[in-house]
């Protein structure tokens, strides 16, 4: 069974641009969550999607948004990029909602210049 796939692996953007990251969950998994990892901050929760609906949101500005498609694939978008948005963005999937272990992708490393 294929794992969680995130594309692209690396991205370089400049301030003010926008970016879209993609995540394909494990087949059959219906819940997708996004996390931001920066040095010294650990993994910060961005949002969670289930059945194409955002179910939970972390403390990030509105520039960060996402969506989930009917096949459970998810995208996240960051508009008006800032230098501080440079981070590793991780997507995780689980079979359903609830207290289940998350399966993470390898992440997208975003650098904002």
Q: Which residues bind another protein (CB under 8 A)?
A: 4, 31, 33, 35, 40-45, 48, 55-56, 58, 90, 92, 97-99, 101-107
For residue 65, how far is the Cα from the chain centroid?
A: 9
- Give 14 or 106: the residue with its C-beta nearer to another protein: 106
- Give 20 or 45: the residue with its C-beta nearer to another protein: 45
Is the alpha carbon torsion for 111, 60, 23, 80 positive or negative?
A: negative
CB of 16 to another protein, least distance (A): 28
- Give 78 or 92: the residue with its C-beta nearer to another protein: 92
CB of 90 to another protein, least distance (A): 6
- Give 5 or 17: the residue with its C-beta nearer to another protein: 5
Buried b (16+ CB within 10 A) or exposed e, 92-113: bbbeeeeeeebebbebbebebe
> Are 32 and 46 spatial neighbours (Cβ–Cβ below 8 Å)?
no
């Amino acid at each position: 069974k294929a794992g969680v796939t995130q594309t692209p692996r690396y991205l370089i953007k400049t301030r003010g641009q926008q970016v879209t990251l993609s995540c394909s969950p494990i087949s059959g998994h219906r819940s997708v969550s996004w996390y931001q990892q920066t040095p010294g901050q650990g993994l910060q929760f961005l949002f969670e999607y289930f059945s194409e609906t955002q179910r939970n949101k972390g403390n990030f500005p509105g520039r960060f948004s996402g969506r989930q498609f009917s096949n459970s694939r998810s995208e996240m978008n960051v508009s008006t990029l800032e230098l501080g948005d440079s981070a590793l963005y991780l997507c995780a999937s689980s079979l359903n909602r609830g207290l289940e272990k998350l399966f993470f992708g390898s992440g997208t490393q975003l650098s904002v210049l």
